Amino acid sequence: MKIIMLGAPGAGKGTQAKMISEKYGLPHVSTGDIFRANIKNGTALGMEAKQYMDKGLLVPDELTVKILLDRVAQDDCKNGYVLDGFPRTIPQAEVLEDALSKLGDKVDYAINVDVPDENIINRMSGRRACVTCGATYHIEYAAPQKEGICDKCGSELILRDDDKPETVKARLSVYHEQTQPLIDFYKSRNVLKEVDGTVSMQEVFDSIVAILG
């Protein structure tokens, strides 16, 4: 079972990907994690990706797909995987589709966790992170016992720059421009499934389980 998770930043797709991974025994394949692992291990692909990342450039699609295919060719992925953070654009989706079809393979499900922009802005601007230990909270859904103070280490909690409303709006506009077209792409392949991401984490997961069976 090969699953792609779609959804805006802050829609909760990463959390759902982890839950799917645990329930179905499928590896949770996050492109960010793969890049970090390849760079840490000094692989040829990792070093090539690092040259772009060090300059603040996006890693080209072909290289990203090469690194991804290298990961999903490993033994733990032989029964499938959950892709999180890839593809982000139509060209990436086409390169992935082409590479999989050469292996006689294809994506089984593209699951879109659908959340309106205003919910995402509220959700992300309510996040707080500990400056010392990195623990995360939410002022509404997972508040610390004492406002502005980390339960674990007693340090100050902050609103990270990438969670500020103006940053979130900018990320959402990039998402709508680049990534939303993937919804139509996978709809045309008859593999798109949509779930309501505004309900509780467990309810979202229950909807996904109903789809996957």
List the catalytic residues.
13, 88, 127, 160, 171
Beta bridge partners of 6: 112
Cα separation, 180 vs 197, in Å, equals: 15
Indicate left, alpha or beta for 118 from its phi (over 0: left) and psi (-120 to 50: alpha): alpha
Burial of 114 (0-12, 13-18, 19+ CB in 10 A): middle
Distant-in-sequence, close-in-space partners of 19: CB < 8 Å, separation ≥ 6: 201, 205, 208
Which structure tokens are listed for 142?
Answer: 């997972």
Q: Cα separation of 17 and 139, whole Å?
A: 24
Two tokens, residue 172: 């959402």
CA distances from 187 to 35, 97, 168, 191 (A): 29, 14, 26, 6
